[in-house]
Amino acid sequence: MVLTGKRIVLGVSGGIAAYKAVEICRRLVDAGAHVVPVMTAGAEHFLGRTTLSALASEPVQTDLWNATEPIPHTRLGQSADLILVAPATARVISAYATGLSTDLLTNTLLATRAPVMVCPAMHTEMWEHPAVVDNITTLRRRGVHVVDPEQGRLAGGDVGAGRLAAPDRIVQAVERLFTPRDLDGTRVVVTAGGTREPIDAVRVIANRSSGKQGIAIARAAAARGARVTLVTTVGAPGLHDIEVVEVETAAQMQEAMQACAPAADVIVMAAAVADFRPKVVADRKLKKADGAPDIVLEPTPDILAGLGDAKPAGQILVGFAAETDDLLDNAARKLAAKKLDLIVANDVGAPGVGFQHDTNAVTLLQPGAEPRSVGLRRKDDIADAVIDTVVGLRSATTSSPGPTSAIDPEPTP
Ligand code: PMT
């Protein structure tokens, strides 16, 4: 987890959105960060200290004048890996832009060399006021990270721009800040979920894939700078910066993949694609009274094998192997037959592994290399291990330009 051990000062200033700081704090702590909360006097009108203190890694601090520590702002500023201000009011933004230090939070902002991220929240009129616009422009120019507010419902029932960005968006922005951008400029296509093959107007043949592993890989690739397309059979909310293509059947997934594969630098097929589908699909609901139907199955197209056959030079093609027996032999066979650069084998019969779980355990196989096992851990961590291997494969093949370089060449001096 990229936030493990990172010391984050969470500045909370006085707006109605202060209550969302609680959720942000909880998520950062869950992600392994050490969160030190600092509240302004305004924030205390909206949020009690006790809630934030209970969830953070240290009790809330509010005061510049502190009996036990004479200069708390320098310790906070100097020891931070990040100062995150959420919500950031017009006052705090203005004070920070002009270098005014009036309370513990604004002093800490000036007493740090750590990165700073501000998440503004205010009424639309204030957010669009030229003074606030100028202050935000100044902060951006100085390298401050700004998570723009969203359109939506504001205090008092008004609707417009200025609502604090959703906590998951803010936490993702924080994670991205600490994540190496080693896929910058690459195009990555990931599949997720299980295909559903219709029997009649209401029934389908499906499998147990939740899409969690594929979605984790899409997120990991996006966090590392890639332009990601996720071809998925399951809805995936909160995927900012990821293009999502929703499909249902193997045929639809194949069509979507054929459209985006030629321009992809990396393809990861984590979806569980049905191997067979009903040969004939009834356009109405089959009647129970007619007795059990004889359903004749036919093979679906092997999407990954087709991508292997058409693979452009430099493209990295990654498959998964879901096995219950002879894991390594079966995976090695698929690696060769589908012309893959990497196959991620999971023993889906083992506890906590594969379908639906939040965890997975995998063995990574590459042509001509020793298999490498990654023990049981969260699917996010498995995703990072897969992406690490992809990055290694890409740097080993830098002499061979991938599709992105062919489409969008660097200007030559
Ligand atoms: O979604 P989760 O609940 O998080 O579960 C994750 C997972 C178990 C689905 C995932 O880890 C996984 O193993 N995905 C691949 C499942 C699968 O279909 O495995 P397979 O061994 O049957 O297929 C081998 C490869 O060929 C896979 O990359 C598959 O996407 C691809 N394939 C298979 C059949 C087909 N007709 N076309 C394909 O492209």
Instruction: pLDDT band for 406, please (50, 70, 90 cuts).
Output: very low
Catalytic option among 66, 107, 135, 207: 207
- Residues touching ligand 1 (Cβ under 6 Å) are 209-214, 250, 269-273, 275, 300, 302-304, 319-322, 334, 346, 348, 354-356
**In angstroms, rounded to a whole number, what is the distance separating the alpha carbons of residues 50 and 25?**
13
Position 66 scores a pLDDT of 73
Instruction: Give the CATH fold of the 7-177 domain.
Output: Rossmann fold (3.40.50)
Mean of the per-residue pLDDT values for the chain? 93
pTM flag (> 0.85)? no
Position 402 scores a pLDDT of 53
**In angstroms, rounded to a whole number, what is the distance separating the alpha carbons of residues 268 and 201?**
31
Ligand 1 mutation target, pool 269, 317, 340, 377, most atoms within 8 A of CB: 269
Contacts of 410 by beta carbon, 8 Å cutoff, 6+ apart: none
Quote the crossing angle between the two packed helices 379-396 and 212-223, to the nearest 10°: 50
The Å distance, Cα 181 to ligand 1 centre, comes to 27
pLDDT tens column, 216-273: 999 999 999 999 999 999 998 878 789 999 999 999 999 999 999 999 999 999 999 9
The Å distance, Cα 323 to ligand 1 centre, comes to 9
The Å distance, Cα 204 to ligand 1 centre, comes to 18
Position 410 scores a pLDDT of 32
Q: Do domains 7-177 and 187-411 have the same CATH topology?
A: yes
What tokens appear for 388 in the block?
């690490």
pLDDT tens column, 185-226: 999 999 999 999 999 999 999 999 999 999 999 999 999 999
Taking the alpha carbons of 349, 352, 358, 362 in that order, is the dihedral positive or negative? negative
What tokens appear for 121 in the block?
């929240």
pLDDT tens column, 113-168: 999 999 999 999 999 999 999 999 999 999 999 999 998 888 878 888 899 999 99
Ligand 1 mutation target, pool 320, 347, 377, most atoms within 8 A of CB: 320
Cα separation values, 160 from 24, 125, 147, 152, 306, Å: 22, 9, 16, 5, 48
All structural domains of the chain with their residue ranges: 7-177, 187-411
Nearest CA to ligand 1 atom 35: 302
Kindly indicate whether the domain formed by 187-411 is annotated with CATH number 3.30.70.20: no
Does 207 participate in catalysis according to the annotation?
yes
**In angstroms, rounded to a whole number, what is the distance separating the alpha carbons of residues 369 and 367?**
6
Ligand 1 mutation target, pool 196, 207, 209, 277, most atoms within 8 A of CB: 209
H/E/C letters for each residue in 197-258? EECCCCCEECCCCCCHHHHHHHHHHHHCCCEEEEEECCCCCCCCCEEEEECCCHHHHHHHHH
Position 411 scores a pLDDT of 32
